[in-house]
Structure 1
Amino acid sequence: MTALDLAPLWRSTIGFDRLIDLIEDSVRWTGGDNYPPYNIERAGEDHYQISLALAGFTPDEVSVTAEQNMLTVEGRKAEKGSHQYLYQGISSRPFRRTFNLADYVQVKGASFENGMLKIDLVREVPEAMKPRQIAINVANAHQQVEHQQAA
């Protein structure tokens, strides 16, 4: 299957535009650029961590930007004179890596140690959006009590 027709979803869904766009983007993704390498791990029920291997970069050469439902990590090496490499295996090319975040996922912090950038994420669902128990009022509570006593 090389093409996925999402037209039926557009005809029968309302308010799922972002989800459908994510599906279309993932189908078009060719996997051409996988630099820098990264891991995404679940550190708890609502805690996640993204780790990027940034060998040769310093914290000053990397920026992390959090927007609504989007996390962007960019890096650009500062030019520090001319080098005469006999072999250059450590990449110093600029990069831009974006991650789509689910609703209510917030970036809580980032740390850089030993060439690894670690970004901590937490899903914080607002209290108003969490499930809650609804009490059921009985209209004829007095009649029920009398009926139970008679039985």
Structure 2
Amino acid sequence: MSRISVFSAPFLLGFDSFEERVDRLAKSADGYPPYNIERTVGPDGTERFLVSIAVAGFGADELDVLVEDNQIVVRGKQKDEAGREFLHRGIAARQFQRAFLLADGMIVKDATLGHGMLVVAIERPKTPKIARRIEIRVS
């Protein structure tokens, strides 16, 4: 039995891989760690996005930010230190993976870690609208 989705409409051509990515993101949707996404538009029309992820307790060597297949994947894994005894452990120390889907043309500029926040900067440069006429060949 075939699956029917919004992407199977006859006028949405070539969106198969997009649907797969959305499915992958939906399966990994959990609330940890929390994050914010901010959007600004520069005077030149360039859109800028800041993805701020709360990663208190993680060091830069325990975090990975990868751009693959039109998505940003942020992974964190802390190492347990032997000999530490907690009377109360309220700060989560679990591994995580959080993914953000990127539109075509998005550029990941950099990632910074400070004050328990990992901030990933993304840009979408303003692109000119292009229209062109397609000549019809007669066979």
TM over 0.5: yes
The alignment covers a number of residue pairs equal to 126
For residue 8 of structure 2, give the secondary structure of its aligned residue in structure 1. Answer: helix
**Structure 1: which 5+ residue stretches go unaligned?**
135-151
Uncovered stretches (5+) of structure 2, i.e. residues with no partner:
133-139
Alignment of 1:2-151 (within 5 A): 5-6=4-5, 9-21=8-20, 29=26, 33-44=30-41, 45-124=46-125, 130-131=128-129
SS at structure 1 position matched to 2:92: coil
Greater RCO (CA < 8 Å, at least 6 residues apart) = 2
Bigger Rg, structure 1 or 2 = 1
Q: Deviation digits for residues 9-28 of structure 1, max 9, x if unmatched? A: 344532222344455567xx
TM-score (norm 2): 0.75
For 2:119 and 2:6, locate their aligned partners in 1 and report how far apart those are by CA, in whole Å.
39
Aligned-pair Cα RMSD in Å: 2.8
Identical amino acids, percent of aligned pairs = 33
Does the CA-based 8 Å contact 2:7-2:19 persist in structure 1? no
Richer in helix (by share): 1
Q: Secondary structure at the match of 2:87?
A: coil
Query: What's the counterpart of residue 137 of structure 1?
Result: none
Cα 1:14–1:111, aligned 2, differ >3 Å: closer, same or farther?
same
Shift of 1:35: 0.5
SS at match of 2:112: strand
For residues 86-136 of structure 1, what are the alpha-carbon distances to aligned partners after superposition, in whole Å with 9 as ceiling and x for unaligned? 1100001011111110101111011101100000000136xxx622598xx
By percentage of residues, which structure has more strand?
A: 2
- Name the aligned partner's letter for residue 84 of structure 1: E
